[in-house]
Structure 1
Amino acid sequence: MSKFLIVGLGNIGMEYAHTRHNIGFDVVTAFALKHNGSFATQRLAEVAEVKWKGKIFICIKPTTYMNLSGKAFKYWLDKEKILLENTLTIVDDLALPLSKLRLRPGGSSGGHNGLTDIELTLGTDKYPKLRFGIGNNYPRGMQAEFVLSKWFPEEIPVVSKKVQACIETIENFSTMGIEKTMNAINKAEFI
């Protein structure tokens, strides 16, 4: 039975819930809920195990805070003996417009602290990432406030559509592989 590690990046605590920076948590939660998984606090993460189409998905939301995401990632990767190419990390991305998702088999952190820590911990940036465009609609010097703020009411319909698309992307990633899944999702425009 193939096994996958699905990592949603975010920060623990009510003040961060449903902010742009926590979209990774929201996607992983939605995926687990769709497949009747429930999260329990375990070592370094909230963890849910999902079984679907003969596959096992270990879904984690690190409890280490964003800047130490690598610690939880590596612990669960090793504990569950999952291949690095069978991992998918869901993360917010300022460089992408709200209308886009981008799946890649590797690539740099782009300055994202969670990805930077994973890269340092693993010693490579060659692990699959699903980037959730959050846009960059903020005044100069207000980047931190923007990523830690909640979605604007007018953004919520697009965010909801994209969360559903992310769930399908996780499923397709596990059944069709990354290349075919990339071809489909990277061209999609969400409005």
Structure 2
Amino acid sequence: MASVSSNTSSTPLLIVGLGNPGAEYEGTRHNIGAMVLDELAGDLGTGFSVNRKVNARVAETRVGDRRVILATPRSFMNLSGGPVKALTGYYGPGQVLVVHDELDLDPGTVKLKHGGGLNGHNGLRDIAKSLGTQDFDRIQVGIGRPPGRMSPASYVLKPFAKAERADLPVTLADAADLATAVARGEAA
């Protein structure tokens, strides 16, 4: 299975947006990856359906000549590896791009990262363990650090503050645009 960067139109691209399932987690910082995928699906004119074989919501589409599979695992964030591994097995080897929340970036910051460290992110850690490599691409969506002495675990599971919600549409659009640029081979 190839999960390394590859921008050729013949290589399928699996874009995975991380989050937690269930209404109680909608609108939380930890679900920004899944929120980006909803934005991206809307931009590409496609919708999700549940694929129980891979335990994910999935949409198949094309960006130019490239086959693109959008997915949000139906597992909890810390167990994202199983669905991602199942997705790569079901849809075939190709480039993997994971969209996730990032504490070490200011809110609204969107950054493309190729492989490297996992920054203590348990969802990424589980994906790396399941794929047997950290060499997959990521779109990091900044959520900033928790205020005061709030634990990071509590912070990521809280809804966005009012001021953050005002800027959220721009952040989601920026991240979706970056994912589209990756699919087109325009982002490096």
Q: Same fold (TM over 0.5)?
A: yes
Partner Cα distance (1:170, 1:62) in 2: 17
1:51 matched residue in structure 2: 62
Partner Cα distance (2:187, 2:126) in 1: 23
Uncovered stretches (5+) of structure 2, i.e. residues with no partner: 1-9
Uncovered stretches (5+) of structure 1, i.e. residues with no partner: 180-191
Matches within 5 A, 1:124-163: 124-163=133-172
1:175 matched residue in structure 2: 184
Structure 2 letter corresponding to 1:49: E
Structure 2 letter corresponding to 1:74: K
Q: CA deviation at 1:177?
A: 4.6
1:41 matched residue in structure 2: 50
Q: Which has the higher helix share?
A: 1
Match of 1:75 among 64, 67, 86: 86
Decide whether the 8 Å contact of 1:95 with 1:133 is kept in 2. Answer: yes
Partner Cα distance (2:29, 2:131) in 1: 25
Partner Cα distance (2:79, 2:108) in 1: 28
Decide whether the 8 Å contact of 1:105 with 1:178 is kept in 2. Answer: no
1:66 matched residue in structure 2: 77
Partner Cα distance (2:132, 2:174) in 1: 30
Structure 2 letter corresponding to 1:164: A
Partner Cα distance (2:150, 2:165) in 1: 24
1:3 matched residue in structure 2: 12
* TM-score normalised by L of structure 2: 0.88
Decide whether the 8 Å contact of 2:99 with 2:139 is kept in 1. Answer: yes
* TM-score normalised by L of structure 1: 0.87
Matches within 5 A, 1:107-122: 107-122=116-131
Partner Cα distance (2:139, 2:47) in 1: 22
Structure 1 letter corresponding to 2:30: H
Partner Cα distance (2:63, 2:25) in 1: 30
Superposition RMSD on alpha carbons, in Å? 1.4
Partner Cα distance (1:154, 1:163) in 2: 15
Partner Cα distance (2:105, 2:65) in 1: 34
State the identity %.
32
Structure 2 letter corresponding to 1:113: N
Decide whether the 8 Å contact of 1:2 with 1:54 is kept in 2. Answer: no
